[in-house]
Amino acid sequence: MRSRIRRWAALLSILVWLVPSVGALAEFSPRYTQFKQRDGMMVEWTGSYTALDKLSKKNLETVNEWLSNLKWIVKGRLGGTVTTAAVEYAGEEILSVASRPQGNGAVTLFSPSGNAYWTAAGQKTALAYLAGEEPYIYDILEFPALYDQLAKALYPVLDEKVTAKTKKARTTVKNATASPSYRDYALTADEMNAAWSDILTAVLPTLREALADQPGRCGQLEELLGSLTFSGECRFKRLLDKNQGDMGMQFTGSAGKGSDVRKVTLFGGYTADKGGYLSLSLPQVKGKNKLTFRLSVSLAKAKNGNRTLKIDVSYNRLFDKVTEAATVAASLKNVIKGGDEAWSGKVTITQTENKVKTTYTLTPALAFTDAGLSGDVTVQRKRGSKVNMKAAVHIDIAEAGDFTEPEIENPVDLSGKSDAQAKAAVQAEIPGLVGPVVRLMSTLPENERILLTHELRTDEWMTGDTVPLPTEETRDEPTPGPGTDWNEEDAI
pLDDT at residue 175 greater than cutoff 90: yes
Phi, psi at 384, each rounded to 5°: 70, -125
pLDDT at residue 401 greater than cutoff 50: yes
**Alpha-carbon span 387 to 346, nearest angstrom:** 17
State pLDDT tens for residues 14-27.
333 333 333 345 57
Peptide bond into 135 cis (omega under 30): no
- Give the 3-state secondary structure of 44-110: EEEEEEEEECCCCHHHHHHHHHHHCCEEEEEEEECCCCCEEEEEEECCEEEEEEEEEECCCEEEEEE
pLDDT at residue 8 greater than cutoff 50: no
- Do residues 365 and 343 touch, judged by C-beta distance below 8 A? yes
pLDDT of residue 289: 94
pLDDT at residue 473 greater than cutoff 50: no
pLDDT, average across residues 217-231: 89
Using pLDDT thresholds of 50, 70 and 90, give the confidence band for residue 489. very low
More confident residue, 246 or 15: 246
**Alpha-carbon span 288 to 59, nearest angstrom:** 49
pLDDT at residue 484 greater than cutoff 60: no
Length of the chain: 492
Q: Which of 119-128, 188-197, 454-463 has the highest mean pLDDT?
A: 188-197
- Do residues 107 and 408 touch, judged by C-beta distance below 8 A? yes
pTM of the predicted structure, to 2 decimals:
0.79
One-letter identity of residue 140:
I
| Cβ neighbour number for residue 383 with a 10 Å cutoff | 13
More confident residue, 474 or 428: 428
| Cβ neighbour number for residue 410 with a 10 Å cutoff | 7
Q: Positive or negative CA dihedral for 169, 172, 177, 179?
A: negative
CA angle, corner 145, sides to 144 and 149, nearest 5? 115
pLDDT, average across residues 422-432: 90
